[in-house]
Structure 1
Amino acid sequence: MNFLFAWRYFKAKKSTNVINIISWISIVAIAVGSAALILVLSVFNGFEGLVKSMYGDFYSDLRVSATQGKYIQPTASQLKQLHQIKSVKNFSLTVEEKALVVNGDYQSIVYLKGVDSNYYEVVSIKKNIIDNGEYSLGTKDSPSVVLGGGIANAIGADPLSTDPLTVFFPNRNANDFSNLQNATYSFDIHEAGIFRIQEDFDNKYAFTNIGFVRYMADIPENSYTAIDIKINSEENVSGAQKQVASIFGQHYKVQTRFQQNQSLFSVMQMEKWIIYIILSIILVIAAFNMVGALTMLILEKRKDIAVLKALGAHNGFIQKIFLNEGFLLAGIGGIAGMLIAFLICYAQQKYHLIKLEGGSFVVDYYPVTMRIADFLMVTATIFIVAVLASWIPARKAAVKDFSLKGNE
């Protein structure tokens, strides 16, 4: 019943036109605020998904490494137990060392990652090979290397060239580091391909077979830098992490892809929440308009309030009428804003209307990803704003004595 009164008050023509104007201003402000929230959150979701996909092509679902020191020494029994975990699709043993790659007069320091034959099934490096290259790591005696795009540009490398590159490793047993020949080991290596994923990786990493890196860096047979693990489904990562941790014990750390890049993803989440709080201020401003609109409506309907009370309406009934009036203003604005945002996001997803400036991005348009959780969060925010804006005017309308005699 009280909602019917609120709906009638909303539709009815007011004696003072300014009440209608303020009411519609508050509706438009809420619509703009809710649309802005959905749009910005969807863009953040899009960029977050884009970054995760790029990092997902380089980092494994789970990574086992040492809590102290650089190398791990997994036993045959531990590797067998790891293989028996149902949610583990595959895993790869890796070693990583710094090396100097030289091509004629050009050189670059790289993180040379030696991987086994399972690696391409664990991490999606293979699909990011560009131009005429291929994912080929060679053998211990005849190694090949896959370079990051930034490294390849720095040293002028070309997979089609027949001239080999030279890789230098430090000699850990050398006593005289002033003599370059004694202080380093060198080996000619063929460039098989170039990968491009993300600038941080492209300028830093190169891949070859694990046997070559182990031999050149004098790494013992049972020592590894890490174990990269592929999980069957993202939903199983948390459970698999616990199982893997129970196998390797406290001297090993088992990290998810998020934990391997915790600072990056934490900053992205923080930025998203800060923008959400800032844009919510628009809804707070709209709340002031709602307070004004409801206050003026109460003054206009004071005779109606007096009649209702004379007929036996209690204060709670009166209060609910104007609370519902506030919910109507906020609800109409919120639904309109979210509908507008949905249509804009859908158009951006389908037609890529808004482009990114410059040509150095992975995509040339703003990525957007709509999530039901964002719509629910914005709805909850609008509800809270409506309650806060309507409560005081509605309460005053309920407790104030509007006598029929005083309104005649």
Structure 2
Amino acid sequence: MSLALKIALRYFKGRNSTQAINIVSWISMGAVALSTTAMVVLFSVYNGLESYVKNMYTAFYPEVKVSVIKGKFFTPDEQQLQKLSHIEGVKQVGLSVEDMALLEGHDHQKVVRLKGVNNEWFQVNGMDRFINTGTASWPEQPAEVPSNIGVDIVAEMGIELDNTFQKIQLYYPKANASFAGMDAAAALNGIAVAPYASFKVQPELDGMYFLVPLKAAQHFFNAGNQLSAVELSLDNPRNTQKVIAKVREIFGPDFTVLSRLEQNKTLFMATEMEKWMIYGILSLVLVIASFNMVGALSMLAIEKKFDVSVLKSLGAEAKTIKKVFLNLGMLIAGTGALAGLVLGLLIVLSQMQWGWIKMGEGFLDAYPVEMQWADFVVVCITVLIVGLAAGWYPAHKAAKQLMIFKDE
């Protein structure tokens, strides 16, 4: 242990310091501890909310999505689809075709996003976790066209899921159709589907999407064998960029290949930005709290002016004196940070276990929290940098002061 650190530890214990300096030092440590606790707790809350949002958007936002740049639909190449399934890391391949359609209810109409999907699509998008009634697959040999409907559409349109005799009517414009004539119905394709299942993801999607089998949707959209997208699930999400690079090689420049984050970039960027804005605000609070530390160290430097003079007379260099007060600042900040980390960890763990901070009515009962050790590292580094900066001015002044051996 260096001489500067030994002296800093002795000053840190504060047995010979005046009561005012001890009080200010304790206030400094308390301010650092509370700021650290707030950082840990809020980071964990934002991590939990981010994970919850990402989990919600696994449905309808696959890990990798391939779509054509120009136009709504494209004709798939069987060789391309076979190559996709043989890419290392690709777990399943789902196919989909989608467009807007008109849903006719008992007393009103609604425009929905009609999406035709194959059975693999349900596994690719993890729909089994979001099924409200029925199953996350199509029946093998249905007598009628089955449908899987968002719960908000079900409620709004008065659809009876347990009524096997109910038929739901959907309409879509025919290719090259004209609405100039009197008979607008002749310009529309119609399809009657049976309610088979319902899903509940989140309100935005539950009130928008209406699922039917892929072949039925292709016929309804006059699309032949065309698709809107090829959707992939992966064995390991960490390999997403490697898989995307290989998929781009297969499909070429006429297609976009996007990860889940890129498909909903605005939402995830906003969540991440909020987290770091909170970090900036709390860092500013920590900087303001560090002024107490500057005051405590400055008062201590004045009180220990005789000790500093003795050290200088014994040959201690200015950098040694500076290290004493820098180490002391780090000790105060480090102790406050450690206390704050422990307190923050206890709060987060208790919230994970018991969920005692509630969100009120909605999809979540309690605030979700998730600990990421990288956040703990960021918090520790931030606190130590602030502690080092707070100790620099008193350390510089102490190192520059003249030797004094008696009060004038």
Q: Distance in 2 between matches of 1:134 and 1:118?
A: 13
Which residue pairs with 2:132 in the alignment? 130
Residue type of the alignment partner of 1:202: D
Structure 1 residues 172, 306: closer, same or farther in 2, change over 3 A? same
Q: Distance in 2 between matches of 1:403 and 1:6?
A: 20
Which residue pairs with 1:394 in the alignment? 395
Which residue pairs with 1:288 in the alignment? 291
Q: Contact conserved, 1:136 with 1:145, CA < 8 A, in 2?
A: no
Which residue pairs with 1:99 in the alignment? 101
Which residue pairs with 2:263 in the alignment? 260
Which residue pairs with 2:307 in the alignment? 304
Alignment RMSD (CA, Å) = 1.6
Which residue pairs with 1:370 in the alignment? 371
Q: Distance in 2 between matches of 1:267 and 1:203?
A: 23
Please tell me whether residue 68 in structure 1 is matched to residue 48 in structure 2: no
Residue type of the alignment partner of 2:293: M
Which deviations, in whole Å up to 9, do the C-alpha atoms of 1:14-39 show, x marking residues without a partner? 45321111111110000010100111
Q: Kindly state the Cα deviation for residue 135 of structure 1 after the two structures are TM-superposed.
A: 3.6
Please tell me whether residue 278 in structure 1 is matched to residue 285 in structure 2: no
Q: Kindly state the Cα deviation for residue 100 of structure 1 after the two structures are TM-superposed.
A: 1.5
Please tell me whether residue 8 in structure 1 is matched to residue 10 in structure 2: yes
Q: Kindly state the Cα deviation for residue 179 of structure 1 after the two structures are TM-superposed.
A: 1.9
Q: 1:9-408 residue pairs with structure 2 within 5 A? A: 9-131=11-133, 133-137=134-138, 142-161=144-163, 162-177=165-180, 178-221=182-225, 223-358=226-361, 360-361=362-363, 363-404=364-405, 406-407=406-407
Q: Kindly state the Cα deviation for residue 140 of structure 1 after the two structures are TM-superposed.
A: 9.0
Residue type of the alignment partner of 1:315: A
Residue type of the alignment partner of 1:238: Q
Q: Helix, strand or coil: the match of 1:265?
A: helix
Q: Distance in 1 between matches of 2:130 and 2:401?
A: 71
- Count of aligned pairs: 403
Q: Helix, strand or coil: the match of 1:224?
A: coil
Q: Kindly state the Cα deviation for residue 353 of structure 1 after the two structures are TM-superposed.
A: 1.0
Residue type of the alignment partner of 1:396: K
Q: Helix, strand or coil: the match of 2:178?
A: coil
Which deviations, in whole Å up to 9, do the C-alpha atoms of 1:369-393 show, x marking residues without a partner? 0111111000010111011110111
Q: Distance in 2 between matches of 1:107 and 1:247?
A: 42
Q: Distance in 1 between matches of 2:136 and 2:102?
A: 21
Q: Kindly state the Cα deviation for residue 324 of structure 1 after the two structures are TM-superposed.
A: 0.6
Q: Distance in 2 between matches of 1:272 and 1:333?
A: 23
| TM-score using structure 2 length | 0.95
Q: Distance in 2 between matches of 1:296 and 1:204?
A: 65
Q: Kindly state the Cα deviation for residue 42 of structure 1 after the two structures are TM-superposed.
A: 0.5
Q: Kindly state the Cα deviation for residue 180 of structure 1 after the two structures are TM-superposed.
A: 3.0
Which deviations, in whole Å up to 9, do the C-alpha atoms of 1:278-315 show, x marking residues without a partner? 11122111211111000000111011111111111111
Name stretches of at least 5 consecutive residues in structure 1 with no aligned partner: none
Q: Contact conserved, 2:122 with 2:137, CA < 8 A, in 1?
A: no
Residue type of the alignment partner of 1:214: Q
Q: Contact conserved, 2:333 with 2:384, CA < 8 A, in 1?
A: yes
Residue type of the alignment partner of 2:372: R
Q: Helix, strand or coil: the match of 1:208?
A: strand
Q: Distance in 2 between matches of 1:33 and 1:342?
A: 13
Q: Helix, strand or coil: the match of 1:151?
A: helix
Which deviations, in whole Å up to 9, do the C-alpha atoms of 1:250-287 show, x marking residues without a partner? 11110000000000001111111111101112211121
More displaced 10-residue stretch of structure 1: 140-149 or 255-264: 140-149
Q: Contact conserved, 1:136 with 1:144, CA < 8 A, in 2?
A: no
Residue type of the alignment partner of 1:231: L
Q: Contact conserved, 1:43 with 1:368, CA < 8 A, in 2?
A: yes
Q: Contact conserved, 1:150 with 1:202, CA < 8 A, in 2?
A: yes
Q: Distance in 2 between matches of 1:136 and 1:319?
A: 70
Q: Contact conserved, 1:159 with 1:192, CA < 8 A, in 2?
A: yes
Which deviations, in whole Å up to 9, do the C-alpha atoms of 1:81-131 show, x marking residues without a partner? 111112111111211021122232243211110011211221122331214
Which deviations, in whole Å up to 9, do the C-alpha atoms of 1:45-96 show, x marking residues without a partner? 0000000011013311100011222222331221121111121111112110
Residue type of the alignment partner of 1:158: E
Q: Helix, strand or coil: the match of 1:134?
A: coil
Name stretches of at least 5 consecutive residues in structure 2 with no aligned partner: none
Structure 1 residues 46, 169: closer, same or farther in 2, change over 3 A? same
Q: Distance in 2 between matches of 1:126 and 1:355?
A: 27
Q: Kindly state the Cα deviation for residue 136 of structure 1 after the two structures are TM-superposed.
A: 4.8
Q: Helix, strand or coil: the match of 2:119?
A: coil
Which deviations, in whole Å up to 9, do the C-alpha atoms of 1:335-377 show, x marking residues without a partner? 001100000000000111111122x22x200111011111100
